[in-house]
Chain A
Amino acid sequence: MSIIRTENLCKDFGELKVLKNVSLTVEPGEVIVIIGPSGAGKSTFLRSLNTLETITSGKIFIDDQLFCHAENGKIVDSMEPAKHKAMLLEMGMVFQRFNLFPHKTVKENVMIAPINVKGVSKADAEKKAIELLSRVGLADKADAYPNKLSGGQQQRVAIARALAMEPKIMLFDEPTSALDPELVGEVLNVMKDLAAQGMTMLCVTHEMGFAREVADKVVFMADGMILEEGSPEEVFGSPKTEKAKQFLNSVL
Chain B
Amino acid sequence: MMDKIITWMPQLLLGARTTIIITIIAVAVGLVLSFFLALGKMSKNPLLNKPCSAYIFFFRGTPLLIQIYFIYFGLPQFNPALTIKSAFVAALIAYTLNSAAYLAENIRAGIQSIDKGQYEAAKALGMTYRQTMQLIILPQTVRRLIPPVGNEFIMVLKDVSLVAIIGLSDLTKVTRAISSSQATALVYIPAMVIYLIITAFFSFIFNRMEKKYSVYE
Binding site for B on A (CB under 8 A): 50-52, 85, 88-89, 91-93, 95, 97, 99-104, 112-113, 116-118, 145-147, 158, 161-162, 165
Going nearest first, the 8 A-B pairs with the smallest beta carbon separation are: A99-B121, A113-B125, A99-B117, A93-B124, A145-B216, A117-B126, A89-B126, A102-B216
Q: How many A-B residue pairs have CB under 8 A?
A: 59
Q: Once the chains bind, are B120 and A165 in contact (CB under 8 Å)?
A: no
Q: Which residue of A lies closest to B116 (CB)?
A: A99
Q: A93-B124, A103-B139 are in contact. Are A116 and B131 (CB under 8 A)?
A: yes
Q: Once the chains bind, are A85 and B126 in contact (CB under 8 Å)?
A: yes
Q: Which of these, B120, B124, B125, B140, contacts A102 with CB under 8 Å? A: B140
A113–B131 Cα distance when bound, in Å, is 10
Residues in B whose Cβ lies below 8 Å from that of A92? 124
Tell me, rounded to whole Å, the shortest Cβ–Cβ distance linking B88 to chain A.
Answer: 39
A161–B123 Cα distance when bound, in Å, is 13
Q: Which residue of B lies closest to A113 (CB)?
A: B125
Tell me, rounded to whole Å, the shortest Cβ–Cβ distance linking B142 to chain A.
Answer: 9
Q: Once the chains bind, are B126 and A165 in contact (CB under 8 Å)?
A: yes
Q: Answer whether residue B3 sits at the interface, using C-beta atoms and an 8 A cutoff.
A: no
Residues in B whose Cβ lies below 8 Å from that of A102? 140, 216-217
CB-defined A-B contacts under 8 Å, sample of 17:
A50-B124, A51-B123, A52-B124, A89-B126, A95-B124, A99-B115, A99-B121, A100-B121, A101-B140, A112-B135, A116-B131, A117-B126, A145-B216, A158-B121, A162-B124, A162-B125, A165-B126
Residues in B whose Cβ lies below 8 Å from that of A91? 124
A116–B216 Cα distance when bound, in Å, is 22
Q: Which residue of B lies closest to A52 (CB)?
A: B120
Q: Which residue of B lies closest to A146 (CB)?
A: B216
Residues in A whose Cβ lies below 8 Å from that of B118? 99, 101
Q: Which of these, A101, A118, A147, contacts B121 with CB under 8 Å? A: A101
Q: Which residue of A lies closest to B142 (CB)?
A: A103
A102–B215 Cα distance when bound, in Å, is 10
Tell me the residues in window 117-159 of chain B with beta carbons closer than 8 Å to chain A beta carbons.
117-118, 120-121, 123-127, 131, 135-136, 139-140, 143
Q: Once the chains bind, are A97 and B117 in contact (CB under 8 Å)?
A: yes
Q: A103-B140, A103-B143, A147-B217 are in contact. Are A88 and B126 (CB under 8 A)?
A: yes
Q: Once the chains bind, are A117 and B131 in contact (CB under 8 Å)?
A: yes
Residues in B whose Cβ lies below 8 Å from that of A146? 216
Q: Which residue of A lies closest to B134 (CB)?
A: A116
Q: Once the chains bind, are B120 and A145 in contact (CB under 8 Å)?
A: no
A107–B122 Cα distance when bound, in Å, is 16
Tell me, rounded to whole Å, the shortest Cβ–Cβ distance linking A206 to chain B.
Answer: 20
